Amino acid sequence: MVKLIIMGPQGSGKGTYSSRMAPQLNNIPVISMGDLLRAARNDEEFGNVIKEAQDKGVLVSNEIVMNILKKRLEQEDAQKGFILDGFPRSLEQAEALEEITDIDATINLVVPREVSIARLSSRIQCKNCGKIYNKLYLKPKVEGVCDECNGELYQRDDDKPEAIEQRLKVYEEKTQPLIDFYNKKGIKIDIECNSVDIPPEVQVEKIMKALKEKELA
């Protein structure tokens, strides 16, 4: 059983690496807070509050976020471990997470800004199912068409270079306290990626090697 967090700037490959790590870690679930909040819009307890916040373009309260995550971690598949994809996002959330569960390791993807910009500028997404591709290293089988649902692929406005710069600046400001927090706890594992075209499999191999060295895989 292993409980992991994977964190890194936009374009660092969190989702891509997590989906490849999970089968090597007893098929533990990859849990994305974004996915949880979208699913929780239909939740009897929290749905209306979440819809209202998202419709207004404001953040859902930490209290509700943590309640939703707690319910997810209580599900049967998460009893064998999990990977939290991009969560927590603040020191307050990290401290609240400690009250819910222990974390064995935090994988910190260290990616130079220019690499993140190049990757995100090449990212395209399905309008229908949301699946993400990359024109550099994760191409669809048919250009412009989603492999999963045949939906149309497009580039989000916030994946254009001028928007990416601002997103990365905000990430760096908000995440440094988190990096310090997990570093002090002695559970942070830095995984560097200094090139745009490193295959995901190579990075996953580096992560798995680091986990094995700590006897977590």
pLDDT at 51: 84
The tokens for 51 are 């819809």
Percent of the chain, pLDDT > 70? 100
Residue 143 identity? E
* Interval 25-40: pLDDT, tens: 999 999 998 889 888 8
Residue of 83, 85, 108, 87 lying closest to 96 (CA atoms): 87
Q: Is 119 a catalytic residue?
A: no
pLDDT at 10: 83
Q: Is 123 a catalytic residue?
A: yes
Of 156, 169, 174, 185, catalytic: 156
Enter the pTM of the model: 0.82
* Interval 66-120: pLDDT, tens: 999 999 999 999 999 999 998 998 999 999 999 999 999 999 999 988 888 888 8
Q: Is 167 a catalytic residue?
A: yes
Residue of 61, 67, 105 lying closest to 84 (CA atoms): 105
Q: Is 156 a catalytic residue?
A: yes
Distance between CA 52 and CA 203 in Å, rounded?
39
Tell the residue number behind the tokens 């600046």, with chain if given. 169
Of 89, 113, 131, 135, catalytic: 89
Element (H, E) at 137: none
Q: Which fold has domain 2-112+171-213?
A: Rossmann fold (3.40.50)
